[in-house]
Amino acid sequence: MLRQVTIFVMVGTFLIGAYYVGVSSYVAPEQQNRLASSLDEFQAGLTYEKIVTLDERERATLVQSMPSGVVRMIMSEAKLHPSFVSESIDDIREQSLSDDVTFSKLTQIAGLKGYDASGTAVLVHAGSKTFLRLDEFGVTPGIDQRLYLTKDGSASSGIDLGLLKASSGSQNYDVSGIDLDEYNILIIYSKTLDTHYAHARLAKSDI
């Protein structure tokens, strides 16, 4: 009896998971056709696939010249293209050449302006290096999402840590040499879309 219940639970869990994967990856034909026709009307032969293969600066120039309705459709399409990375604490040990690892300033990551985000931001100290680690992280996928450390939440006056490595999964960023008491607000921002996706304020006291 117990074995039958266990099998039932396992099968049920699989089917539920398969359902949500299918739903999340499904794109209504009307949405695809509307975006395709809008892009072709804006510029003959232009597709979403061509947009994402452009250089970031070229893409930003192109997107900023588009009607706002087309930009919103591009943002909706971007949500359907998540990416994943899995970096570990061992990766930090390898990069820092140190096994002496300590943690500080643990804080939750939160979404902004209707976008979802989860996970924790934590500083990892290894030897002479410090890394910002996004642990068990996830954010609504977008285009040209960049990670910044700022004083006041403004990307323009913040330190650009580079493109987000993925929209999901744990990832490490070398922040050695940055004054993390001053630049203590983390944001995820796309200049191309002028959109803030997530933020976190690093704790003032060590854990």
Give pLDDT tens digits for 35-77.
Answer: 999 999 999 999 999 999 999 999 999 999 999 999 999 999 9
User: Could you tell me if 150 and 128 are in contact, meaning their C-beta atoms sit under 8 angstroms apart?
Assistant: no
Domain boundaries along the sequence of the chain: 2-78, 89-201
Beta pairing partners, 146:
163, 189
User: What is the enclosing helix (H) or strand (E) of 188?
Assistant: strand 185-190
**pLDDT tens digits, one per residue of 125-179:** 999 999 999 999 999 999 999 999 999 999 999 999 999 999 999 999 999 999 9
| pLDDT (mean) for 12-19 | 42
Domain 89-201 has CATH 2.60.40: yes
Residue 24 has pLDDT above 80, yes or no: no
Describe the crossing of helices 29-42 and 68-78 by its angle, rounded to 10 degrees.
Answer: 130
Token pair for 173: 């960023």
Instruction: Give me the phi and psi of 202, to 5 degrees please.
Output: -65, 135
This prediction's pTM: 0.82
In the block, tokens 């976190």 appear at: 200
